[in-house]
Amino acid sequence: MSDRARRSPRVLSPAEEELLRWVVQHSAAEPKPYLEQIPKLRVVGYCGCGCPTVDLALASTARSEAIGYPIAEADGHSPEGVYVGVIVFANDGVLSMLEVYSVTGEGGPYTLPRPEALTAAPPTTWPRPVAEL
């Protein structure tokens, strides 16, 4: 993600919200506090490589420059058939990025995978606090 670009804040698209909610619900060790953040999130940046990765921030906070730590993961296929990984990151307990990347490094544009095309990784406990809203 060396080509990160800033963007005027916008609400999550329905597909971004659905994917984020599904991955957090099915892979995060403590999903509830993160799920409560989703309606308050804004997209504040994106990856310049063409993948559908987005940087996130709560509507009431500034964008953090730090990516944070992974809290949930899944893998599967995009609608175009690209094998993708999905990682949800949090920084200081606040969701900070929805990363969607080609596992095989395939080029070309691809879109967000549908939840039914994914397999969630088992929950992992991360030693980080979840932000209270």
74-95 pLDDT, tens digit per residue, is: 999 999 999 999 999 999 899 9
pTM for the whole structure:
0.86
pLDDT at 61 (0 to 100): 67
The rounded mean pLDDT for the chain is 87
pLDDT at 7 (0 to 100): 61
Which element (helix H / strand E) includes 7?
strand 4-11
- % of the chain at pLDDT higher than 90: 68
Residue 8 contacts by C-beta under 8 Å, 6 or more apart in sequence? Answer: none
pLDDT at 3 (0 to 100): 52
